[in-house]
A and B are shown apart, each in its own frame.
Chain A
C-alpha cells in the first residue's frame, strides 16, 4: 500500500504547474474562509464582551415574578432582600462582583424641553469592580457626591437633543413604587456613548440610592453578576442554583446569552453569511477540481489502460484517483492554513479599522482571530470537496475500455 500511496503522491506533482494552480485555488478557498471566519469570530467575541461589559453582565438574577407578570408599578416584582441574595452568590467561584440595578423609565427636562428616558440605576463602585464602566464621550463616571448633588450620565443623543453638557442640570420625573409622581434634579457629570444609537438617544444613568429615593423603594430590579471569564458562565450558573433556594422570594437567573437578543441576531445573520460563503467556496473547489481531475484522467488514459491490462482491479483505479485528490486537498489545506494565518497576522498588525456598522456609532477594529475549530472545519471541507470531485473522474477512469484506452493518443 505504501507504493500505491507513493504513486498517488508522485502523480499529484506530475504536472507541477497545474498542481500549483490547484493548490492555490484550494488554499485560497481555505485562506478566504479563515480570514472571513476569523474576522467574524473576532466580531462575535467583541460584540459578546462589549455586550456583557456594557452592563449586561454574565448572569442576572431576578425575582421570579419579574417574568411571570407585568409590573403594575415600578419595582413591583423587584428583589427586596437583595443584599442577602448578593452575599449568597458573591462567594461562588469565578465571581468577580455583584451589582444591584434598577431599570426605570420617566421623563427628563431641561426646563425648556422634555424627553422620555430609559434609566438605569447602578452602584458605581460595584460596576467598576467588574470593569462595567460606561464608555464616556466626555466627563466622568458616577460617584457618591460629597455635595449631595445627584449625579447623572446621559447618552450622546440625550445630550444633543436636550442641549446639555457636563456640569449642566436636568430634572427627571418618574412614577414611584406607590404610583405617585416624583421628581429630582440631577447634575450631568458625563456623556456616554453606548455604541447603540437608539440607546444613546434615551440613555440616563444615576446612582442606586438616587433612584431608590426617586422611586420611593429599597428594592432593586435585578442583580448583575460579573465573572472572571465568559466561558465559566454555565458552570457558575449551575453553582448558583442551590444558593438561590430558601430565600424570602423565589429567584430566577438568566445567562447573558438569554438576554443578548441583539448579539444573537447579529450572530445568526453573520453565521448565515459565513455558511453561504462556505457553500460557494465548497462548490467552487468542487467544480474546478472536477475539471482538473478530468483533464488529468484524459492525459493518463493510456497509462490507466496499461494498469488495467496488467490486471489492476478497477476499484484500485478509483482509489488511486480519490487518493490523489485527497492528497491535493490536504496540501491545499496546508497552503490555505499557512497563507490564511500569515495574512491574518499581517492584517492584525496593520491596525485597520472599519466604519461603524448600522446601529453602532463607533468604528470597529479589523482583527482576525485564529480559530482552531475553523481551521479544522475549512480544511476538512476542502479535503471532502476534492474527494467528492474525484469521484466522477475516478469512476470514468475505472470504466475505461482497455483496448480503447491503450490506443488513446
Chain B
C-alpha cells in the first residue's frame, strides 16, 4: 500500500540471491510504508530478511524487483553517485558491531559524516559537540574506540548516525553485542532522540528488550510480512508528524 506522505515506501520489493546452482529469496514481494518520526522495529527469526530489508532501505543493496522511495524519490533510478549522496545526506547507520573507525577518536568518528558532506570546520565542531552531548559522551570525545566500553561505542555510533540530522536512521541489531544494562540504556537513548528530535528510527532485531520499547513492530517470516502493528502506531506517528510540521 503506497502512501504519498510516507518517508519510506517499499513497494512490492523482492530480493533474490543467486547461489551456485540455486537462488534464495530473501524478500518476497514486500510492501511497507514508514512515516516520519516513527520508531519501528523489524523483527523475525534469522534468515527472515530483516537485514536485507534494511540494506535495501539504506540503498546499500538493490532490489531484484519492486522499488523503494525515500521522500518520494525512486532510489532504483538513481546513479551510483546520487545514491551515495542520498545515503550521505538522508540516512544514518548504526551497526551491530559499531563499525567505528578505530584510528579516529570518538569525536572524529562522529565528525566523519560531516567531513564527507564538506561542512565547514566550525560547524562540524559545533554539531559534533551537540551530538556527543545528546548521547552523553562529551567527556569521552577524545577517546579512541578501543578505550570505550561496548555501550559507549554504540552511543558514539548513534551520535555519528544523527550528527548530520538524517531523515532516517537505520540500525541493524544495535543491541545484539550489549549487556542488558547497556542495551536498555541504548534503547532509552534512541527512544528519547526519537521523541525529542523527531528522528525516524528503523531497527532490525530479535532482541526482546528492544521489542518491548517499540510502538510498531513489523514481523518478517521467510521474506514476507507476518504481522505489522502499524494500526496502533499509525495514529501516534501521524499526530507526531503533524506536530513536527
Residues of A within 8 A of B (CB): 3-4, 6-7, 10-11, 14, 302-303, 305-314, 316, 401-403, 406
Q: Of B58, B89, B111, which is in contact with the most chain A CB atoms at under 10 Å from its CB? A: B58
Tell me the complex Cα distance, A303–B108, Å.
15
Q: Contact flags (1/0) for B52-94 with A, using CB distance below 8 Å?
A: 0001001011000000000000000000110011111101010
Give 28 pairs: A residue, B residue, CB < 8 Å, sorted on A: A3-B108, A3-B115, A11-B103, A302-B99, A303-B99, A303-B102, A306-B101, A307-B101, A308-B84, A309-B58, A309-B60, A309-B87, A310-B87, A310-B112, A310-B113, A310-B160, A311-B85, A311-B89, A311-B117, A312-B84, A313-B81, A314-B84, A316-B116, A401-B61, A402-B61, A403-B55, A403-B60, A406-B95
- Within the complex, what minimum Cβ distance (angstroms) separates A323 from chain B? 13
A7 to B89, CA, bound (A): 22
Q: Flag whether B104 is at the interface (Cβ < 8 A).
A: yes
Q: Does B97 interact with chain A (Cβ within 8 Å)?
A: yes
Other-chain residue from A4, A14, A406 in contact with B103 (beta carbon distance below 8 A): A14
For A305, list chain B residues within 8 Å (CB).
Answer: 99
Chain A's closest residue to B84 (CB) is: A311
Least CB distance from A18 to B in Å reads 14
CB neighbours (8 Å) of B103 from chain A are 7, 10-11, 14
CA distance A302 to B101 in the complex (A): 10
Closest chain A residue to B115, Cβ basis = A3
- Count: A-B pairs, CB below 8 Å: 67
Name the residue of chain A whose CB is nearest to the CB of B97: A302
Residues of B within 8 A of A406 (CB): 60, 95, 99
Measured CA separation A118–B57 after assembly (Å): 93
* Selected contact of A311 from candidates B88, B102, B108, B160, CB within 8 Å: B88
Residue of B nearest to A12 (CB): B103
Residues of B within 8 A of A313 (CB): 81, 84, 116
A3 touches B111 (CB 8 A): yes
Question: Most chain-A Cβ atoms within 10 A of its Cβ — which of B103, B113, B116?
Answer: B103
* Contact A402 B60, beta carbon cutoff 8 Å: yes
Residues from chain A with Cβ under 8 Å of B113 in the complex: 310-311
Q: Closest CB of chain B to A283's CB: distance in Å? A: 30
In the assembly, what is the distance between CA of A11 and CA of B101, in Å?
10
**Smallest CB–CB gap between B204 and chain A, Å?**
13
Give the top 10 A-B pairs by smallest Cβ distance, nearest first.
A311-B88, A10-B103, A402-B60, A306-B99, A311-B87, A403-B61, A403-B55, A311-B84, A403-B60, A309-B60
Known: A311-B85, A311-B89. A306 touches B95 (CB 8 A): yes
Q: Write the nearest CB–CB distance from B147 to chain A, whole angstroms.
A: 15
Which residue of B has the minimal Cβ distance to A407?
A: B51
Give bound CA distance, A7 to B104, whole Å.
7
Known: A303-B102, A306-B101. 9 other contacts (CB 8 A): A7-B104, A306-B93, A307-B101, A308-B84, A310-B160, A311-B84, A403-B55, A403-B60, A406-B95
- List chain B residues, Cβ under 8 A from A403: 55, 60-61
Chain B's closest residue to A404 (CB) is: B61
Compute how far the CA of A268 lies from the CA of B151 in the bound complex, rounded to whole angstroms.
67
Interface hits, B108-160 → A, CB 8 Å: 108, 111-113, 115-117, 160
CA distance in complex: A316, B95 (Å): 22
Contact partners of B58 in chain A: CB under 8 A: 309
* Smallest Cβ-Cβ distance to B172: which chain A residue: A406
A314 contacts which chain B residues (CB < 8 A)? Answer: 80, 84
Smallest CB gap from A9: residue in B: B103
Q: When chains A and B are docked, how far (Å) is the Cα of A313 from the Cα of B101?
A: 17
Within 8 A of A (CB), among B214-242: none
Q: Is A312 touching B60 in the complex (CB atoms < 8 A)?
A: no
Select from chain B the residue with minimum beta-carbon distance to A315. B81
In the complex, chain A residues whose CB is within 8 Å of the CB of B117: 311
Complex contacts, B86 vs chain A, CB 8 Å = 311
CB distance from A401 to the nearest CB of B (A): 8
**Residue of B at shortest CB range from A310?**
B113
Measured between C-beta atoms, what is the minimum distance from B158 to chain A in Å?
14
Residue from the set A3, A307, A314 with the largest chain B CB neighbour count within 10 Å: A3
A303, B60: Cα distance in complex, Å: 14
The closest CB in chain A to the CB of B62 belongs to: A403
| Chain B min CB distance to A54 (Å) | 61
| Given A3-B111, A7-B103, residue A310 in contact with residue B97 (CB < 8 A) | no
Among A309, A313, A403, find the residue whose CB has the most chain B CB atoms closer than 10 A. A309
Are A310's CB and B116's CB within 8 A?
yes
In the complex, the answer to whether B60 meets A7 with C-beta atoms within 8 Å is: no
Interface centre among A6, A302, A307, A311 (most CB of B within 10 A): A311
Q: Smallest CB–CB gap between B60 and chain A, Å?
A: 4
Q: List chain A residues, Cβ under 8 A from B89.
A: 311
Cα separation A401 to B104 with both chains bound (whole Å): 24
Complex alpha-carbon distance, A305 and B101, angstroms: 11
Q: Which residues of B contact A7 (CB under 8 A)?
A: 101, 103-104
